[in-house]
Copies of this chain bind each other. A is one copy, B any other.
């Protein structure tokens, strides 16, 4: 287990800066009044491929030696990591192999292909995915970039909160959604050195609360196939991200499906940005636990904005 450190995060920022956007921070008087807090929303949905995951992916891709790079990168994901890794590989001009269940939404496949990613379809089971992925790696010799349990990826995600605390100073806490824990781990990594007085708080769907239960139990608990409208948050913690969560996260709050959808609508209506359900869990937990946030300066990571506009959760 190679734990990334603060210098790794700084090096990542220098490496990825030409390839990512310095995303803006948005506020809403209405949402501040509603919560009694000062909320600073970091708009990672404004990254070109629409998610913070472009940071970690770009750090991994541009950190490869020339020799390694020729063989490309590979991952298994049907979400934002797949499109962000494809995007980063396209910018470096190297191959990106993505193993994806054949049942993944067509829109996700289209996005990966638009960025030049090569999809290998598998059956929607862990065994089929592992078999397909082993085959792709053996054939191509490509470098595996895990969606979150990867030192380079966590160092890359940490650059987001470095920007945020430069854009909104004196934050009492930063709240980010937690799935596998890549963004939360990067946030811990950065704040531990740069702003140790700023708490890191994770937000999770009630119906996929394995990180919450792990946090309370003091060991990783992984669920088999949790379901939530926040479809970016259904994967379990792994050893690297558990290291950061168990050592540095101050609290994990959860929110129900309806609370997540209500928060998403508030974000769209009052910040006028397109944010994913996963990105809406932090605001949902803030509204649910007002006393914990009242009077505080709170940073919130809007992690992504890739949404099927024809199937919004409140119009289904």
Q: Which A residues are closer than 8 A to B by beta carbons?
A: 24, 26, 28-30, 45-46, 48, 50, 265, 268-269, 271-275, 305, 309-310, 312, 314-315
A272 touches B315 (CB 8 A): no
Residues of B within 8 A of A312 (CB): 309, 312, 315
Nearest first, the 8 closest Cβ-Cβ pairs linking A and B are A272-B305, A272-B274, A45-B272, A24-B24, A29-B48, A268-B274, A315-B315, A273-B273
B48 touches A309 (CB 8 A): no
Main secondary structure, interface of A, reads loop
CB distance from A311 to the nearest CB of B (A): 9
16 contacts across the A-B interface (CB closer than 8 A): A24-B24, A28-B48, A30-B48, A45-B272, A50-B272, A265-B309, A269-B274, A272-B273, A272-B274, A272-B305, A309-B312, A309-B314, A310-B314, A310-B315, A312-B312, A312-B315
A46 touches B310 (CB 8 A): no
A268 touches B309 (CB 8 A): yes
Residues of B within 8 A of A45 (CB): 272
Inter-chain CA distance A271–B282, complex, in Å, is: 22
Inter-chain CA distance A29–B50, complex, in Å, is: 12
Inter-chain CA distance A309–B26, complex, in Å, is: 20
Selected contact of A46 from candidates B50, B272, B305, B314, CB within 8 Å: B272
- Which residue from chain B places its CB closest to the CB of A275 in the assembled complex? B272
CB distance from A89 to the nearest CB of B (A): 15
Q: Which of A265, A271, A275 has the most CB of B within 10 A?
A: A271
Selected contact of A273 from candidates B28, B274, B310, B314, CB within 8 Å: B274
Residues of B within 8 A of A29 (CB): 48
Inter-chain CA distance A269–B307, complex, in Å, is: 8
